[in-house]
Chains A and B, each alone.
Chain A
Amino acid sequence: MNPELEKLEHLISRALDGECTSDERKLLKSRLRNDPQARALFDELRTLDEALGDALRRATRRTWHIISFRSRWGRVGQGLIVTAAACLAAMAWLHPTPPKAGPARPTRSIPAQASLTPSWFAPSPPPADEVTPIPSAYERPQLRVRGTQRNWIVIPGDRPGTFMVIEVDRVRTHVIDVHRDF
């Protein structure tokens, strides 16, 4: 290769990369002013350099942007799911599902205003299944289902002489011999 041209290439390359000294810049300027071929080469290399740099930046930025966009939205999605789950849990806690209809139990009625919790910091209402003393008029049903056995579970209360009694009618069971020789 022509050593003069090679020298010019080096000078142009240094200029494009911002590595020229002030003397080199002056030299290049005068060369470009007086030599149309040098001017054409400089313009060509500069255009190529700009186009290639732009293409490289576009290519890498596009791919990495897609990846970072995905990971960023992935994180946002996870955050939204956690927030939604927290909201649902809070709603379920504040508005519990009403109990299914069934036989009336001897429970103390809860005042209407107490069933609503106005604030997270307000005292919580008494539990709905609090057991109250059995009224004196209560009579134990005489009817017994055949094949059942009546049991009681007695739990002492916090004051002397108070008990919680749980009456259980359970199906009678029989012990059956298991033949081990079949």
Chain B
Amino acid sequence: MTSMSIDGESLRQLVAEARQGDRAAADRLVREHASWVRSAIYAVTGRADLVEDVAQQVWTRAWEQLGTLEDPRRLRAWLYTIARNTAIDASIARRRQRELAATLDGQAVCDRRGRGPFGAAAGDELHETLLRAVQALPAIYREPFVLRHLEGWNYAEIGETLGLPVESVETRLVRARRLLREMLQGKVEP
């Protein structure tokens, strides 16, 4: 779970120092936010094998654009926007690459998502089925669902990061569970 250890004033100071090129401040910011940024990337892409590459791009973009962050207290939402955009770009690029490769091979494009380094090695059919179900969720439901489970954030934290009211977060989580229940009907025994 991501620590929320930095209070508003410290965060403002940390961001100001990082903007001035203070490496220690930048390191601390990355340490504090790296975990949930990864979860956010996973929430958007639904692919664990993309996470690390995209996370590096996210931090590169974040340092390039740090000057555009007007209110350091909104750092999380700002970072989430960068993470989401970068993750979407990476997903599109990967899909195009796969489609092109399939076209060149003369094979039908098949969805191999979830067969990344973890999927194939796990050898657990149920595990893969569950992940595929999460990946099949529309992004607006998947994002809060993944953040809730990977980061353990409450509705307010998810809402703050995604820029949503708490009620919307709740509704999206209810719908995510409903869809998952339909998809996994009879596959998981109580």
Contacts and interface: CB of A to CB of B under 8 A. Distances in A.
A63 B149 contact: no
A17 B178 contact: no
B48 A62 contact: yes
B131 A48 contact: no
Contact of B173 (A17, A60, A67): A17
Interface stretch (B24-32, B87-95, B101-109, B181-189): B181-189
Contacts of B188: 47-48, 51
Contacts of B83: none
Nearest to B183: A48
Contact of A60 (B119, B150, B177): B150
Interface string A47-69: 11101110111111011101100
Contacts of A45: 177, 181
A13 B149 contact: no
Interface in A8-66: 9-10, 13-14, 16-19, 40, 43-49, 51-53, 55-60, 62-64, 66
Nearest to B38: A64
A48 B180 CA distance: 8
B155 A49 contact: no
A56 B131 contact: yes
Contacts of A6: 174
Interface in A60-85: 60, 62-64, 66-67
B150 to A, nearest CB: 6
Contacts of B118: 58-59, 62-63
A10 B174 CA distance: 6
A63 B51 contact: yes
Nearest to A49: B177
Interface range for A: 20 to 34
Contacts of A43: 190
A34 to B, nearest CB: 19
Instruction: With a 10 A CB-CB cut-off, give which of B126, B130, B131, B155 has the most chain A CB atoms.
Output: B130
B38 A60 contact: yes
A84 to B, nearest CB: 29
Given A59-B48, A66-B117, A52 B170 contact: no
A109 to B, nearest CB: 57
Contacts of A62: 48, 117-118, 121-122
B19 interface: no
B165 to A, nearest CB: 14
B171 to A, nearest CB: 8
Nearest to A57: B150
B174 A13 contact: yes
A58 B127 contact: yes
A47 B134 contact: no
Instruction: With a 10 A CB-CB cut-off, give which of A6, A18, A62, A64 has the most chain B CB atoms.
Output: A64
Leading 4 A-B pairs by shortest Cβ distance: A55-B130, A63-B48, A53-B149, A47-B190
8 contacts: A14-B170, A47-B188, A47-B189, A59-B48, A62-B117, A62-B121, A63-B48, A63-B118
Interface of B: 38-39, 42, 48-49, 51-52, 116-119, 121-122, 126-127, 130-131, 133-134, 145-146, 148-150, 154-155, 170, 173-174, 177-178, 180-181, 184, 188-190
